[in-house]
Amino acid sequence: MPTTTSRDQGPDLHTPLNAAPLTHGQLPRRAPQSVFLAALVAGIALLLSGWNVAAAAIVAGFGYAVVVYAWSRAVEGPRKATDRLVTAVVTGAFLLALIPLISVVFTVISKGAPRFDDQFFTYSMRGVVGEGGGAYHAIMGTLIITGLAALISVPIGLLTAIYLVEYGRGKLARAITFFVDVMTGIPSIVAGLFAYALFALIFGPGVRMGIMGAVALSVLMIPVVVRSTEEMLKIVPNELREAAYALAVPKWRTIVKVVLPTALAGIATGVTLAVARVIGETAPLLVTVGITSSDNFNPFDGRMATLPVFSYYQYVTPGVPPDPALNRAWTAALTLIIIVMVLNLAARLISRLFAPKTRG
């Protein structure tokens, strides 16, 4: 529809300036909203006339995008129209992506709520058959093991990222970057088997310890910490570093006092993501930490319970009748999400408190 001049053609120097309008037409301020309302009404009408929800939503969404684009193109020109179309597409994609995610959360909350009670958080499964019982032992186990994994991986990951961004040149740096990426692809169960094989070499076969789980999780966690920290350090503007060097600040102090604080918000998010990535891992804990129904808070001695493994076994071998166990499984999952939520809040608080003000 080449009725209007495209901006790619460059300025048209031959037309006198006063021939081109200085202002474009503009859609009325409420235009997108009213089109949206119309689309909504149309969608509901389709729904009522017997279409299923998905089809009605798709048709309404497409209708909205097409109408807004055409209208805007007619009144405002192609650039504005494209902009509005992209806005519609991005928002639409966002909403589309949100549906399954919200559905997951809703499922977990609604199925986890029935057993979200005192007993769940104060009891272990020792001596419990059927109804009742709790996951206190598993909650503690998850916190201890994940905490240890973080304690191992965060320093290593952070330092590696610093090396890659600030120091690393040449073959070693390239090798590390590359193999960190490879490490993200280690299947979680392989990490578990590796940790098991490592400890079995030292302590003999059949060994089960919390720390083994922490090591296995670290193998999975380190690359995530490195990758996200590296990305964050990379986008710290070089001007900041150069300014510090120009003031004769040693490199390490520049890193510690300038680079890290600038990237802190991102790093905190990255670390939280990394924790989130491993806290729900089931397979590696299955083969390294095992399961117990009693309290064990010593990560250097024997089997420990963890929430994901607890949840898994409650689901897989529920007993008769299965419902109490299935409820416990869902509540354990819900608890896991809440723990991550708290961690997330803490990370946000930390980055809010310590990071220098840049952009929200």
Partner 1 sequence: MKRTTLGRALALPAAAALTFGLVACGSANEPSDSGGNGGGSGLSGTISGAGASSQDAAQQAWRAGFIEANPDVTVNYDPIGSGGGREQFVNGGSDFGGTDAYLDEEELAGANERCGQVVEVPTYVSPIAVIFNVEGVNELNLKPATIAKIFNQQITNWNDPAIAADNPGVQLPDKTITPVNRSDESGTTENFVEYLKATAPQDWPHEVSGDWPVAGGEAAQGTSGVVQAVSGGDGTIGYADASQARELSTAKVGVGGEFVQYSPEAAAKVLEVSERVEGRGDYSFAYDLARDTTEAGTYPIVLVSYGIACANYDDANKAELVKAYFNYMISEEGQQAAAESAGSAPISDALRQQIQPAVDAISSGS
Partner 2 sequence: MPSSTERTRAHRAPQRPGDRVFAGLSTGAGVLILVVLAGVAAFLLTEAWPALVAPAEDIPGGEGVAIYIWPLLFGTLLSAFLALLIAAPLAVAIALFITHYAPRRIAQALGYLIDLLAAVPSIIYGLWGIAVLAPLSVEPSEWLAENLGFIPLFAGPATSTGRTMLVAVIVLAVMILPITSAVVREAFRQTPRLHEEASLALGATRWEMIRMAVLPFGRSSIIGASMLGLGRALGETMAVAIVLSVSGGVTFNLISSGNPKTIAANIALDFPESTGIAVNTLIASGLVLFAVTLLVNMAARAVINRRREFSGAN
Binding span for partner 1 by CB under 8 A among 59-67, 81-89, 92-100, 259-267: 259-267
Q: Which stretch binds partner 2 (CB under 8 A): 58-66, 83-91, 128-136, 206-214?
A: 83-91
- What tokens were used for 270? 């990255």
Q: With CB under 8 A, what is the number of residues at the site for partner 2?
A: 105
> By CB under 8 A, is residue 74 in contact with partner 2?
no
Footprint (CB under 8 A) of partner 2, residues 2-61: 54
3-state secondary structure 273-311: HHHHHHHCCCHHHHHHCCCCCCCCCCCCCCCCCCHHHHH
Tell me 262's DSSP state.
Answer: H
Assign 356 to helix, strand or coil. coil
CA distance 188 to 214: 13
Chosen residue from 133, 157, 210, 213 binding partner 2 by CB under 8 A: 157
Site for partner 1 contains 193 (CB under 8 A):
no
Binding to partner 1 (CB under 8 A): which residues in 20-49? none
Q: Which does 167 bind (CB under 5 to 8 A by kind): partner 2, partner 1, none?
A: partner 2
Residue 71 vs 315, nearer CB to partner 2: 315
How would you class 15 by CB atoms within 10 Å of its CB: exposed for 0-12, middle for 13-18, buried for 19 or more? exposed
Cβ proximity of 316 and 283 under 8 Å: no
Is there binding between residue 187 and partner 1 (CB under 8 A)? no
Considering CB distances under 5 to 8 angstroms, the limit depending on partner class, which of partner 2, partner 1, none binds residue 70? none
- For residues 96 and 106, give the distance between their C-alpha atoms in angstroms, rounded to a whole number: 16
Between 84 and 115, name the residue whose CB sits nearer to partner 1: 115
Do residues 144 and 210 lie in contact, with contact meaning Cβ atoms separated by under 8 Å?
yes
In the complex with partner 1, the residue whose CB is nearer, 43 or 133, is: 133
Q: Which DSSP helix (H) or strand (E) runs through 314? A: helix 307-316
182 binds partner 2, rule: CB under 8 A? yes
* Choice between 35 and 329, CB closer to partner 2: 329
Residue 192, token pair as written in the block: 């578990």
Nearest distance, CB of residue 173 and partner 1, angstroms:
21
Q: Are 301 and 209 in contact (CB under 8 A)?
A: yes
Count of CB atoms situated within 10 Å of the CB of 99 = 11
For the segment 121-150, give every residue that binds partner 1 (CB under 8 A). Answer: 122-130, 133-134, 136-137, 140, 143-144, 146-148, 150
253 sits near partner 2 (criterion: CB under 8 A): yes
Partner from partner 2, partner 1, none contacting 148, C-beta within 5 to 8 A by type: partner 1
